[in-house]
Amino acid sequence: MKIYFLYITLSLLTLATYGQQIGGTHIFADEKYHGASDQYINGQLEEALATVKEGLNKVPDHRKLTELKKLLEQEKKEQENKEQQEKEKEQQQDQQEKEQQEQQDKQDEQKEQEEKDQQEEQEEKNEEQQDKDKPEEQENQEEQEQKEQESKEDQQKEDETPSFEEKLEEMNLSEEKARMLLEAMKNSERQYLQQIKRKPTKKSSGKPDW
């Protein structure tokens, strides 16, 4: 009888202890649930998932933690998808900007080359025009130099040629005597011309002179 009573007592104590353990475990799980919920609300998704997993390790069949885990994993998946889309969008935008920059660089290079070609072409035209104008300019310059030389020589001759007064002074003649001499020379020339006109011409007899 005593042995049977002891067995019943131990059994009751065991059941009481098991109930206390179950109750304490659920309280731990509820605390983890509330803690994870607060973390999720504050935007701490990874921390909330870690808290939920910690609670489920102790109480795998806790309904609230299980539902919260599904919610957090779905949220994490959506967030990862969103981040991936944003990353792809950013990469696409970077690629577009790169292509636009390459296109702009190509246009700038082409424009620069065209300007360079135009400049070289203009320089060639200028050189050709200079080569064309050079003989004409040289000819004009030579002509001008020749005129200047002739003018210089004429001026030098004028400077070297004595004037009428200087000549008279060299001959020791006054201007009046020079005029008289000149008039006498003219009269002598007239008389000579008149004599030539009056001189008869011989008629040919048709016979030889001998």
Cα(111)–Cα(53) distance, integer angstroms = 64
pLDDT at 186: 80
pLDDT tens readout for residues 137-175: 777 788 888 888 888 887 777 666 656 566 656 666 667
Cα(2)–Cα(160) distance, integer angstroms = 176
A 10 A CB-CB count for 14 gives 10
CA angle centred on 72, ends 67 and 75, rounded to 5°: 130
Cα(117)–Cα(123) distance, integer angstroms = 10
User: Whose structure tokens read 């970077």?
Assistant: 94
pLDDT tens readout for residues 99-121: 999 999 989 999 999 999 999 98
pLDDT tens readout for residues 59-103: 898 888 899 889 889 988 998 999 999 999 999 999 999 999 999
pLDDT at 172: 64
pLDDT tens readout for residues 6-62: 334 334 333 333 333 445 677 888 888 889 889 888 989 899 899 989 989 988 988
Spell out the residues 6+ positions from residue 64 whose beta carbon is closer than 8 angstroms to its own: 29, 30, 33
